Amino acid sequence: MTDNPLVLGVDLGGSKILAAVVNAKGEVLSSDRRTTPAAKGPEAVIQAMLSSMKRAIDQAAIKAAELEAICIGAPGLSNPETGVIFTSPHLPGWKDVPLRESIEGKMGVKTLLINDANAAALGEMYFGVARGARNFIYITISTGIGGGIVIDGQIYAGSTGTAGEIGHMTIDSNGPKCNCGNTGCWETLASGTALAREARKRIKSGAETSIVDYAGGDIDKVNAEAVHKAARRGDALAKELIVQTGYYIGVGLASLINIFNPELIIIGGGLSSIGDMLLEPAYKVAEERAYRVAFDSVRFARPALGRNSGVIGAAAYAFRKIEKSKK
């Protein structure tokens, strides 16, 4: 690598794309954030990614050829070795998409693929709140729920690279249908999407609330942000729904604590920005349901890198893959 190596990290989500030029110290030199045109299918999303990447490169005043690599953190089931996304519940139409090959061909730069939550976990392990931790779980709660599991200092990827899909463990066998095809997944009950769905349901059933005022008066545009804004201003229904979501987060946390006995659980993602109103009920339920010895040994934290965990972690993954390939 050069004396000042640079990598372009990309955090692809169901609702946003974040591209950033990152150096080997984990410092973000430039970034571009935009909405994911998920409903328009793979080609539209890839074009938006390319535009975001080129914008971040231009802002860093460099050329694509100066990058050591591009690394994409993507949601859903994927194989980092082949660079193929098998399926992604929040990216409609994505089935066996050769994302790495597509981006590498269009950008002319070596491209890598990693699960988005795994990338965020690596970001926090190398540069954030998980430095020094050997066994921890990074949870991202936003449009859906994803997870990065680190065991003995290594990402646990499973036999085909698809491990860590904690958002799709069943919490309620009679619960809502999930985009993945299952029923009652954790993310159908504890994600930002779930919170918004329940709010719309209660409003349409006649509940008195100001939530819709924060969605421009359109019930169909009610989202988690509108619920949060109403709750901050004392809306009773909004606060009730957030506490309910926190309850379901706690149910899932208890299972993870009992199965993995982690020393640290990091909770990130857009919904987690609600803070104590959401997370305190979650911790309370986890404490009630998990084994005491396991719960007492775990520490909860918020990401030190904030919403940059994913792009910084993707870059860190790329730097280390490049280093290993040159040994």
Give the span between the Cα atoms of 120 and 203, in whole angstroms. Answer: 35
Q: What is the pLDDT of residue 113?
A: 96
Contact present, 314 and 11 (Cβ < 8 Å)? yes
Same domain, 149 and 21: no
Residues 306-311, mean pLDDT to the nearest whole number: 93
* Domain ranges, residue 155: 133-302
Kindly state whether residue 243 falls inside one of the protein's structural domains: yes
Question: Tens digit of pLDDT for each residue in 78-133?
Answer: 998 899 999 998 899 999 999 999 999 999 999 999 999 999 999 999 999 999 99
Same domain, 316 and 258: no
Same domain, 103 and 164: no
Same domain, 50 and 117: yes
Residues 139-154, mean pLDDT to the nearest whole number: 95
Taking 80 as the threshold, does the pLDDT of residue 49 lie above it?
yes
Kindly state whether residue 19 falls inside one of the protein's structural domains: yes
Residues 43-71, mean pLDDT to the nearest whole number: 97
Q: What is the pLDDT of residue 1?
A: 55
Taking 70 as the threshold, does the pLDDT of residue 60 lie above it?
yes
Confidence of residue 322 (pLDDT cuts 50, 70, 90): confident
**Which tokens go with 139?**
């949870």
DSSP-based helix, strand, coil % in the chain, nearest 5:
45, 20, 30
Cα 54 to Cα 40, 47, 103, 114, 228: the distances in Å are: 21, 11, 12, 20, 34
Give the span between the Cα atoms of 281 and 243, in whole angstroms. Answer: 6
Helices and strands (H and E) in the chain: how many: 10, 13
Closest CA to 307 of 6, 11, 7, 8: 11
Same domain, 241 and 264: yes
Structurally, the chain folds into a number of domains equal to 2
Same domain, 153 and 23: no
Residues 233-246, mean pLDDT to the nearest whole number: 98
Kindly state whether residue 207 falls inside one of the protein's structural domains: yes
pTM passes above 0.85: yes
Kindly state whether residue 158 falls inside one of the protein's structural domains: yes
Same domain, 296 and 156: yes
- Starting at the edge strand found earlier in the chain, the sheet holding 16-23 runs 28-35, 16-23, 6-12, 69-74, 111-115
Q: What is the CATH number of the domain that holds 114?
A: 3.30.420.40
Whole-number mean pLDDT of the chain? 95
Residue 261 DSSP label: -
Kindly state whether residue 1 falls inside one of the protein's structural domains: no
Express as a percent the part of the chain with pLDDT over 90: 91
Query: Residue type at 46?
Result: I
